[in-house]
């Protein structure tokens, strides 16, 4: 991950309007994503709105009720998100758009969705927005299947004892291990991580504050690991056992968080039957060269029946990991069967792989897979 470094970027279309606009380096360089921050609106708010909003956005903005602060932050959020989309498409698709060619309106849950005259099929970014104290941040990701979320919070406002409501006792234990001078900032990063994940799921924090659980923390890397629990898991069963990595960074008076979760990995998650089919096919390929004439069956035993040697088992395990792009504790499995001096059936190997890809046996695989 990049160390945080704010970089003032040039934008001929909107430079005249806003005093401070930055790219936020919260995500790893490998992500096809752009995160932009806009600090403050110009004095001429209406002409600024006219210059960046589409007709439908303008209608929505004008129909917004409530305090001006809310309308202002909505506009600021559009500016940041449109900046992010424009920079993203310039960078990765060589497409140069003006802000009014990009339309960002909320879906039924409030999640911002991108369309617009400049957005081509297949190049539809996923966006996320946050605002706080006159600063907005927009995240745009060039993968229509990705889950993307962003958040920011000001560090200048001291908040008393929100941890007891915001965090589960396990999360508070993680916080308790942090050096006292960093604890307040990391509590805020944890909060921001939850909000970013909630936005990435498209439901905000509606599953409850404890349904998004911080389970891992890497202070040096600025990373937090979040797992779904309870109501969130009921709604997104395909994320059971998945650790969602949230990137966080502090810049002066703000903490930022961002997550990009590639759903492709979830979609590829196989059923137990698919794992078995793959293993039978792989085994068939391997034993072809060994003059093994019987059909390979789920009950077939690797060592005594199919003639595997230790190194063959290691080669097979490596192939399985590469095929599913997931490390699994094969070394422990092989050590265990060695110690017990027993054999391993293809069926048992299937269960092992299934458990490590999909969670404990007995769950409903059909519903856990993304359709």
Ligand X SMILES: CC(C)(COP(=O)(O)OP(=O)(O)OC[C@H]1O[C@@H](n2cnc3c(N)ncnc32)[C@H](O)[C@@H]1OP(=O)(O)O)[C@@H](O)C(=O)NCCC(=O)NCCS
Residue number, 153 or 227, with CB nearest to ligand X: 153
Stretch that binds ligand X, among 24-32, 69-77, 249-257, 344-352 (CB under 6 A): 69-77
Candidates 45, 178, 205, 219: give the one binding ligand X (CB under 6 A). Answer: 205
The helix/strand/coil state of 134 is coil
Contact residue for ligand X among 125, 202, 222, 270 (CB under 6 A): 202
Nearest partner of 150 among 255, 74, 19, 79, judged by Cα: 255
Of the candidate spans 52-60, 104-112, 176-184, 283-291, the one that interacts with ligand X by CB under 6 A turns out to be 104-112
Rank residues 32 and 71 by Cβ distance to ligand X and give the closer one: 71
Quick one: which of 61, 77, 64, 155 has its CA closest to 112?
A: 77
Smallest separation (angstroms) from ligand X to the CB of 59: 15
The answer to whether 314 contacts ligand X (rule: CB under 6 A) is: no
**Residue 261 engages ligand X in binding (rule: CB under 6 A):** no
Strand ranges across the sheet with 146-154: 146-154, 254-262, 244-251, 223-228, 212-218
Q: Is there binding between residue 77 and ligand X (CB under 6 A)? A: yes
Find residue 298's DSSP bridge partners.
none
Contact status, residue 130 vs residue 195, Cβ threshold 8 Å: yes
Question: Should residue 204 be labelled a site residue for ligand X when binding is judged by CB under 6 A?
Answer: yes
Indicate whether 118 belongs to the interface with ligand X (CB under 6 A): no
Contact between 230 and ligand X per CB under 6 A: no
For the chain, the straight-line distance linking the first and the last C-alpha, in angstroms and rounded, comes to 32
Structure letter (DSSP) for residue 178: S
CA distance linking residue 127 with residue 142, whole number of Å: 9
Binding of residue 109 to ligand X (CB under 6 A) = yes
Give me the residues that bind ligand X (CB under 6 A), please: 73-74, 77, 106, 109-112, 128-132, 151, 195, 198-199, 202-206
């Amino acid at each position: 991950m990049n160390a945080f470094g704010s970089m003032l970027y040039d934008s001929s279309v909107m430079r005249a309007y806003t005093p401070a606009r930055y790219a936020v380096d919260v995500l790893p360089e490998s992500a096809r994503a752009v995160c932009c921050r806009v600090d403050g609106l110009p004095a001429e708010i209406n002409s600024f709105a006219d210059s960046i909003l589409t007709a439908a956005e303008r209608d929505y903005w004008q129909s917004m009720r409530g305090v001006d602060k809310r309308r202002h932050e909505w506009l600021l959020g559009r500016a940041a998100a449109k900046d992010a989309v424009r920079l993203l498409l310039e960078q990765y698709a060589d497409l140069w758009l003006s802000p009014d060619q990009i339309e960002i309106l909320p879906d039924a849950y409030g999640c911002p969705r991108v369309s617009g005259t400049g957005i081509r099929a297949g190049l539809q970014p996923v966006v996320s927005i946050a605002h706080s104290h006159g600063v907005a941040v927009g995240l745009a990701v060039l993968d229509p299947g990705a889950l993307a979320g962003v958040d920011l919070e000001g560090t200048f406002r001291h908040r008393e004892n929100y941890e007891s409501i915001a965090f589960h006792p396990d999360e508070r234990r993680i916080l308790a291990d942090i050096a006292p001078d960093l604890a307040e900032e990391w509590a805020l990063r944890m909060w921001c991580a939850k909000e970013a994940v909630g936005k990435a799921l498209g439901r905000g924090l509606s599953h409850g504050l404890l349904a998004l659980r911080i389970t891992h923390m890497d202070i040096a890397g600025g990373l937090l690991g979040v797992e779904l629990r309870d109501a969130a898991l009921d709604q997104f069963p395909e994320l059971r056992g998945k650790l969602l990595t949230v990137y966080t960074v502090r810049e002066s008076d703000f903490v930022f968080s961002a997550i990009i979760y590639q759903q492709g990995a979830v979609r590829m998650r196989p059923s137990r039957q698919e794992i078995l089919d793959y293993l039978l096919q792989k085994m068939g390929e391997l034993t072809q060269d060994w003059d093994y004439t019987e059909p390979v069956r789920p009950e077939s035993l690797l060592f005594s029946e199919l003639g595997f040697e230790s190194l063959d088992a290691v080669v097979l395990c490596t192939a399985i990991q590469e095929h599913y792009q997931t490390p699994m504790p094969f070394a422990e499995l092989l050590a265990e069967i060695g110690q017990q001096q027993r054999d391993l059936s293809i069926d048992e190997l299937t269960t092992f792989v299934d458990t490590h890809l999909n969670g404990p046996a007995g769950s409903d695989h059909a519903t856990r897979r993304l359709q």
